[in-house]
A and B are shown apart, each in its own frame.
Chain A
Amino acid sequence: MKNFLSVVLVLALMLTGLTACSQGKSNEGELKVGAVYPMSGANALLGTQCMEAVRIAVDMINEEGGVQGMQVALSEADAPDPTSAATEAGRLVDKEGVKMIFGSLASGNALAIAQVTDKSGVCLVESGGIADSLTDSGFKYVFRILDKGGLRGAAGVDYIAEEIAPALGIEKKNLKIAIIHEDSSYGESVANGAELEIEKQGMQLVAREHYSTTVTDMSAMVGKIKKAKPDVLLTVNYINDAILLVDTLKQHKAMPKVFMGCGAGTTDPQFATTVGSESDGFFCTDMPTNLPIEAFADDTALQKTVKEFRARFLAQHKDLNTVPVAAEAAFAGAYTFMHDVLANVDDLNDPDAIRAAALDTKLDLTALGFGWDLHEDGQNYAAAANINQWQNGKVVTVAPEKLKNGEAINVPLPIASY
Chain B
Amino acid sequence: MIKTFLKRQNAVLWIIAVASIALPLLTDNRYYQDIIIMTFLWTGLAASWNLYSGYCARLSIGHAAFLGIGAYAAALLYTNYGISPWVGMIAGGLLAGLVALVIGGSTLRLKGTFFVLATIAFAKIAETFAITAKWITGGSLGVLIPYAPGFINMTWQSKIPYAVLAWVYMLAILAVCVKVEHSRLGYFLRAVGEDREAAENLGVNASKIMLTAFVMSAVFTAFGGSIMAMYVMYIEPTSLMSMTNSVQFILLAIAGGLGTAFGPLAGAYVLVPLTNLMRGNFPSVSGLHGLLLGLILIAVLLYRSSGILPALKGFFEKRRKGDMG
Residues of A within 8 A of B (CB): 2-4, 6-7, 9-11, 13-14, 17-18, 21, 39-40, 44, 48, 51, 76-78, 80-84, 86-88, 90-91, 93-95, 107-108, 111-112, 115, 118-120, 131, 133, 137, 183-185, 187-189, 212
Contact = CB atoms under 8 A, between A and B. Distances in A.
A21 B283 CA distance: 19
A112 to B, nearest CB: 5
Nearest to B244: A81
A9 B270 contact: yes
Report whether over half of chain B's contact residues are helix, strand or loop; otherwise say mixed.
helix
Interface of B: 9, 12-13, 16, 23, 26-27, 29-32, 34-35, 38, 131, 139-142, 144-147, 157, 228, 232-236, 238-240, 242, 244, 266, 269-270, 273-274, 276-277, 279-280, 283-284, 286-287, 289-290, 306, 308-310
Contacts of A87: 31, 34-35, 38, 276
Given A10-B270, A14-B269, A17-B273, A111 B32 contact: no
A94 B159 CA distance: 12
Given A90-B34, A133-B144, A188-B140, A13 B273 contact: yes
Given A48-B286, A78-B283, A87-B35, A184 B232 contact: no
A94 B284 contact: no
A111 B157 contact: no
Contacts of B266: 6-7, 10
29 contacts: A3-B9, A3-B12, A3-B309, A3-B310, A6-B270, A14-B23, A17-B273, A40-B290, A77-B279, A77-B283, A81-B242, A81-B244, A82-B235, A82-B239, A83-B232, A84-B279, A87-B276, A90-B34, A93-B30, A94-B31, A95-B31, A111-B144, A112-B234, A115-B144, A118-B147, A119-B157, A137-B146, A183-B139, A188-B139
A124 to B, nearest CB: 13
A18 B279 contact: no
Given A48-B286, A189-B141, A111 B30 contact: no
Given A6-B266, A14-B273, A183 B131 contact: yes
Nearest to A96: B31
B280 A88 contact: yes
The 3 closest A-B pairs by CB, nearest first: A81-B239, A94-B30, A94-B31
B286 A18 contact: no
Given A6-B266, A13-B273, A18-B26, A91 B232 contact: no
Nearest to A132: B141
Contacts of A107: 141
A120 B29 CA distance: 12
Contact of A21 (B29, B146, B157): B29
B26 A78 contact: no
B140 A93 contact: no
Nearest to B257: A3
B47 to A, nearest CB: 16
B99 to A, nearest CB: 22
Given A91-B280, A115-B147, A108 B287 contact: no
B27 A18 contact: yes
